[in-house]
Amino acid sequence: MRRLKINEDIRSMSEFRSGVASFLKQVHDTKRPLVITQHGKGVAVLLDAGEYEVMQEKIELYEDLEISTLQIEAGLGISHEEAKKKVLKRINK
């Protein structure tokens, strides 16, 4: 996802209502999120569907890394050689 451009990617609810189609196109074309405000405060973020999926995949990967790190710190990990043996054993079946 590309970095938000403040002067282009923050719009009020009334602007959003009157230009939904153009804002959907903007989000799709630029791959940047659109922040929608109400009474001067951010209330929603509009994302391109593909960018949302990429973001979800990254979050899942980071969560897996965190779990792995905690398991290793707790002594639940196995050595590289042991992991390699297990993988090769499965492949060679």
**Mean pLDDT per 10-residue segment, the chain (93 residues):** 87 96 96 96 96 96 96 91 93 83
| Confidence (pLDDT) at 7 | 83
d(CA 83, CA 89): 10
| Confidence (pLDDT) at 57 | 97
Pick the CATH number of 6-48 from 3.40.1620.10, 3.40.50.720, 3.90.1520.10, 3.40.800.10: 3.40.1620.10
Q: What angle do CA 30, 53, 87 make, to 5 degrees?
A: 135
d(CA 24, CA 36): 12
| Confidence (pLDDT) at 40 | 93
| Confidence (pLDDT) at 16 | 95
38: β partners? 41
| Confidence (pLDDT) at 4 | 84
Q: Are strands 34-38 and 10-12 parallel, antiparallel or unpaired?
A: parallel
Q: Are 27 and 33 in contact (CB under 8 A)?
A: yes
